[in-house]
A and B are shown apart, each in its own frame.
Chain A
Amino acid sequence: MLTAKEREEVDAAVAMSGRRRAACIDAMMSVQAHRGWLSDETLEDLAEYLRMTPAELDSVATFYNLIFRKPVGRHVILVCDSVSCWLLDYETLLDHLKSRLGVDIGGTTSDGRFTLLTSVCLGACDRAPVMMIDGDQYGELTPQSIDSILAEYE
């Protein structure tokens, strides 16, 4: 079941695009903002509300990098793995994050605090290597700076 607040936000997205189906990406992103990810059940409820089949909606959901169909932690870390960050040795930082958090790419820490993902170019190549946590961007990263950044996320 979608909550009243979620329905209100989906309605606003539908009103803006004027077509129910066109609002489906906005709708999924707003529901995900409340729940962290989209379970099968959530997807089915939302599909019904948008008058789409669950398969139709899932085909859209699975296309986009920022729509999560598996549970994620309270904070999602996106480490840029594109070419400019590669030239600045992002791999060292990714290794640091993996060992620090005790997870591989795609994994969530056992306390549910962080999910570690890679991302395509975050468009801040002059500040490489770069990562993003919950939409906050951090550049010119070093293992030391990563440690103090992580400490800010409970």
Chain B
Amino acid sequence: METPLTSRIRVDKVPVGLAEYEATSGYQGLRKALSMQPTEVTEIVKASNLRGRGGAGFSTGQKWSFIPMGEDAPRPKYVVANGDEMEPGTFKDRVLMEGDPHALIEGMIIASYAIEAEAAYIFLRREYRESAAALARALAEAYEAGYLGRDVLGSGFSLEMHLHLSAGRYMCGEETGLLNSLEGGRANPRDKPPYPALVGLWGKPTIVNNVETLCNVPHILDKGADWYRGLSHTGDGGTKMFGVSGRVKRPGTWELPMGTPIRELLEEHAGGMQDGYKFRGLLPGGASTEFLVEEHLDTPMDFDSLQQHGSRMGTGTMIILDDRKCPVAMQLNLQHFFAQESCGWCTPCWGGLQWVEQILRAMEEGEGSPGDIDILDMHTKRLRMGHTFCALAPGAMEPLQSALQHFRSDFEQHVREKRCAWKLT
């Protein structure tokens, strides 16, 4: 089984340096890209069926193809890597940036060439200190070796790349919030359309891609779209960084074929539940995805399969709920996060999420009222996409709506008995 994203990552965790990277076909994808027309590069990425690894799963090649090209296109254009990994339960981009930083840089150079960008930014959360150090060193090496700066490898293409360390806020992971933050403002979302491909950073055409997405690009260019699609068990191309956290024996991340069944991840790779804990449910890809339960465990982890079961792959890093933790209290933890991180830009989001958090807290403290579950149900309908500028509140409703479906009796018990049964054991 091939694992292009992680095969270079060293056991001792020392970031792969330039010499080692080049010796293992590093920057070969870039060399091939530079021998093609920019639009040909985009076509190859499109043909690979690479879909965005940040959560939304949009076709990467298609996203690039929305960028205005040619002499009349607005300039400068920008490529931004979204390394603001703050989705609760997600710890995959960090592994790639710490272990193999040149892969991200090479992917960004190829993306920049494909859309004829002049500048690229790595937007990184400041808490990822090891990632920042690895990337800063790799950037210096890449400039020194002529992969960045004026006239990259004598191709006539020039690119400047910068590393930006965020001051911390979940909203920075939303692509238009990220752009506002990069411009030195609050990370409120922007109204869409226009999408960043037309009006992005400083009003210019901009591509924002997740770190893992970009790390795939060098391999696709080096080995081709057919090879890449062949790595997957399903129609979505490639491998995927999967992760498991919670009360399992071996929490961690693994690169596996797209479409690997949930059960294999949970039982084989994560070693199953810890002794004394039983599985109750899981969020397949971070906090803002829908709960899946026992009957869903044979579902393949890919974008379309999970959608068919009413959930989303999200970031592909799953969070396991065990039987010794209260589903209502877990929901309170999740909704506290979303309410706190809401930027306050839209009323349904800041007002609605605070209300949801208050109700859940009351339930947990034995002060729930009979109508409370109806109010929670109402929020799952009112905080839908289209009622807010961005996906934060709709994302927050995914675990709530599905918890009310799968664990409804737990919510009802809290209200009926006016207590949380887990607190007394």
Contacts and interface: CB of A to CB of B under 8 A. Distances in A.
Contacts of A64: 166-169
Interface string A115-154: 0000111111111100010010100000000000000000
Given A25-B184, A67-B167, A84-B245, A125 B317 contact: yes
A28 B253 CA distance: 35
B184 A60 contact: yes
A5 B277 CA distance: 55
Contacts of B320: 87
Contact of B333 (A23, A26, A81, A122): A81
A79 B94 CA distance: 19
Nearest to A50: B184
Contacts of B129: 135, 137
B184 A21 contact: yes
B85 A126 contact: no
A24 B184 contact: yes
B126 A66 contact: yes
Q: Which of A24, A26, A60, A87 gathers most chain B CB within 10 Å?
A: A87
Contact of A28 (B167, B287, B343): B167
Contacts, number: 126
Nearest to B331: A83
Interface in A65-111: 65-67, 78, 81-84, 86-88
Contact of A63 (B162, B183, B343): B343
B160 to A, nearest CB: 10
B350 to A, nearest CB: 13
A19 B119 CA distance: 14
Interface string B317-334: 101111001000010011
A118 B176 CA distance: 26
Contacts of B187: 63
B89 A82 contact: yes
A19 B76 CA distance: 15
A60 B171 CA distance: 13
Contacts of B325: 86-87
Given A65-B169, A66-B167, A125-B251, A84 B184 contact: no
Given A63-B343, A65-B168, A87-B325, A16 B94 contact: no
Contacts of B128: 123
A2 interface: no
B343 A83 contact: no
A78 B168 CA distance: 12
Contacts of B86: 120-121, 123
Given A22-B184, A83-B330, A125 B167 contact: no
A87 B321 contact: yes
A120 B288 CA distance: 14
A123 B85 contact: yes
Contacts of A81: 333, 336-337
Contact of B319 (A19, A23, A78, A87): A87
A39 B174 CA distance: 30
B186 interface: yes
B166 to A, nearest CB: 8
Contact of B247 (A78, A83, A87, A124): A87
Interface in A1-36: 16-17, 19, 21-26, 28-29
B186 A59 contact: yes
Contacts of A24: 184
A84 B270 CA distance: 15
B315 to A, nearest CB: 11
Given A25-B184, A60-B186, A123 B91 contact: yes
Contacts of A125: 89-91, 243, 245, 251, 317, 319
B90 A121 contact: yes
A74 to B, nearest CB: 18
A88 B87 contact: no
B273 to A, nearest CB: 12
B77 to A, nearest CB: 15
Contact of B88 (A21, A60, A120): A120
A127 B94 CA distance: 13
A114 to B, nearest CB: 18
Interface of B: 85-91, 94, 125-129, 162, 164-170, 181-187, 243-247, 251-253, 283, 287, 317, 319-322, 325, 330, 333-334, 336-337, 340-341, 343
Given A21-B183, A83-B287, 15 more contacts: A19-B184, A22-B183, A23-B184, A26-B164, A78-B127, A81-B333, A84-B88, A86-B333, A87-B320, A87-B322, A120-B170, A123-B91, A123-B125, A126-B244, A135-B127
Q: A-B pairs with the 6 shortest C-beta distances?
A: A64-B167, A125-B245, A65-B168, A82-B88, A126-B251, A22-B184
11 contacts: A25-B167, A84-B89, A84-B246, A86-B325, A87-B246, A88-B246, A119-B127, A123-B85, A124-B94, A126-B251, A137-B129
